[in-house]
């Protein structure tokens, strides 16, 4: 049984969206079978009253500027309501295109808003770290997108809930966020301490204690592991710290020397006995392991950044 959190792939949208933050915008333009966008939410109408004693020669006072509706403020930086609504529409369209199960509106809204706030935090940190936007990259990207979508550029924009200006602003924000993301995930090394372990998994404590007693009496661990798992032989493979679904099993594994085995460990799956086969202080990370640890590093960074930031949510 594989206890690895990734199981060979990742299904956590938040990290995938930030790792591939420009995928939709940089990966090409789609014009066919695009859903019809929802109506654009109109800004509140400005009502300006004339002064009570206005005369033909007097001028009415200048109207106050209309305040743009906001979804949130992040360290004082506004996150427009329209940006949030358009991103939510794109997210729901994508789920429908991929034929994914329906999601509660409140859950989808919270997820989209959380990711937009994460983008703002990354972009803010990028600017503080000295990031300078490359206008040439931005323009070449927009030009390539137009050329791919022609002659239906306006249709593509409409079907993907963009205006040309909102697309430009989204690209700017996402390029800055991606720059900072790359700095954060670069902290994950390519090699690190890993162990190769195997386990005996049973579903009854008494059975587990009996097997443990057999091990104590000298029965070979590999033989017993094969008895209870004829296909996988109980092999957990190589893994670094932070990769197993059950931290108590991981803690036991990293406390053991090669050839040693743990006591019986209870989890929601059952009762485990773990043996370390090998240890390697500088073993290269697998692609899945490094991606997962990069995900964890980025999520930790976002959590810490958000705790230190002033975030105001202005939508229900």
pLDDT, tens digit (0-9, with 9 covering 90-100), for 244-284: 999 999 999 999 999 999 999 999 999 999 999 999 999 99
CA separation (Å) from 94 to 35, 80, 127, 165, 284?
10, 21, 30, 22, 35
Per-residue confidence at 90, pLDDT binned at 50, 70, 90?
A: very high
**Torsion angle defined by CA atoms of residues 184, 189, 194 and 196, in that order, rounded to the nearest 10 degrees:** 90
**Torsion angle defined by CA atoms of residues 142, 146, 152 and 154, in that order, rounded to the nearest 10 degrees:** 30
Q: What angle do CA 223, 224, 228 make, to 5 degrees?
A: 120
Q: Is the pLDDT of residue 22 over 60?
A: no
Helix (H, G, I), strand (E, B) or coil at 71: strand
pLDDT at 65: 55
Please give the Cα distance from 162 to 99 (Å, whole number). 23
Please give the Cα distance from 188 to 241 (Å, whole number). 12
Per-residue confidence at 39, pLDDT binned at 50, 70, 90?
A: very low
Per-residue confidence at 1, pLDDT binned at 50, 70, 90?
A: low
pLDDT at 5: 66
State the chain's mean pLDDT as an integer: 84
Please give the Cα distance from 153 to 147 (Å, whole number). 8
Per-residue pLDDT, averaged over 71-87, amounts to 96
Per-residue pLDDT, averaged over 98-109, amounts to 89
pLDDT at 66: 59
Query: Which segment of 30-34, 166-170, 185-189 scores lowest on mean pLDDT?
Result: 30-34
Q: What angle do CA 101, 94, 304 make, to 5 degrees?
A: 90
Q: Do the domains 191-284 and 13-37+69-187+307-313 match in fold?
A: no
Per-residue confidence at 59, pLDDT binned at 50, 70, 90?
A: very low
Domain 13-37+69-187+307-313: give its CATH superfamily: Porin chaperone SurA, peptide-binding domain (1.10.4030.10)
Please give the Cα distance from 261 to 168 (Å, whole number). 58
304 close to 69: Cβ distance less than 8 angstroms: no
CATH for 191-284?
Answer: 3.10.50.40
Sign of the C-alpha dihedral, residues 219, 221, 223, 224? positive
Q: Which residues contact 220 (CB under 8 A, 6 or more apart)?
A: none
pLDDT at 28: 40
Per-residue pLDDT, averaged over 198-215, amounts to 97
**Torsion angle defined by CA atoms of residues 196, 197, 198 and 202, in that order, rounded to the nearest 10 degrees:** -150
Neighbours of 249 (CB within 10 A): 21
Taking the domains of the chain in order of start, what are their residue ranges? 13-37+69-187+307-313, 191-284
Query: Which segment of 39-43, 139-143, 207-211, 281-285 scores lowest on mean pLDDT?
Result: 39-43
**Torsion angle defined by CA atoms of residues 293, 131, 126 and 77, in that order, rounded to the nearest 10 degrees:** -160
**Residue % of the chain over a pLDDT of 90:** 74
Q: Considering the entire predicted model, what is its pTM? A: 0.72
**DSSP symbol at 194:** E
């Amino acid at each position: 049984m594989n206890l690895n959190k990734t199981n060979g792939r990742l299904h956590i949208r938040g990290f995938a969206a930030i790792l591939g933050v420009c995928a939709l915008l940089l990966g090409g333009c789609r014009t066919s079978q695009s859903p019809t966008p929802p109506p654009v939410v109109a800004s509140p109408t400005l009502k300006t009253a004339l002064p009570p004693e206005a005369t033909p020669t007097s001028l009415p006072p200048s109207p106050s500027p209309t305040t743009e509706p906001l979804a949130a403020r992040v360290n004082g930086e506004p996150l427009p309501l329209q940006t949030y609504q358009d991103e939510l529409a794109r997210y729901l369209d994508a789920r429908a295109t991929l034929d994914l199960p329906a999601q509660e509106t409140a859950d989808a809204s919270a997820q989209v808003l959380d990711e937009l706030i994460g983008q703002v935090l990354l972009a803010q940190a990028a600017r503080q770290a000295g990031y300078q936007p490359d206008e040439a990259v931005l323009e070449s990207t927009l030009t390539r997108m137009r050329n791919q979508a022609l002659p239906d550029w306006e249709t593509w924009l409409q079907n993907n809930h963009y205006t040309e200006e909102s697309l430009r602003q989204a690209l700017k924000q996402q390029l800055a966020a991606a720059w900072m993301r790359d700095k954060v995930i670069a902290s994950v090394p390519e090699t690190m301490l890993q162990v190769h372990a195997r386990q005996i998994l049973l579903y009854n404590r008494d059975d587990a204690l009996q097997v443990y007693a057999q091990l104590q009496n000298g029965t070979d661990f590999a033989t017993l592991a094969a008895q209870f798992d004829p296909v996988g032989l109980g092999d957990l493979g190589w893994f670094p710290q932070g990769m197993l679904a059950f931290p108590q099993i991981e803690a036991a594994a990293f406390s053991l020397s090669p050839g040693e085995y743990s006591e019986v460990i209870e989890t929601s799956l059952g009762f485990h006995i773990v043996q370390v086969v090998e240890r390697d202080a500088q073993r290269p990370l697998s692609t899945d392991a490094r991606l997962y640890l990069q995900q964890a590093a980025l999520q930790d960074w976002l959590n810490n950044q958000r705790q230190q930031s002033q975030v105001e949510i202005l939508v229900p």
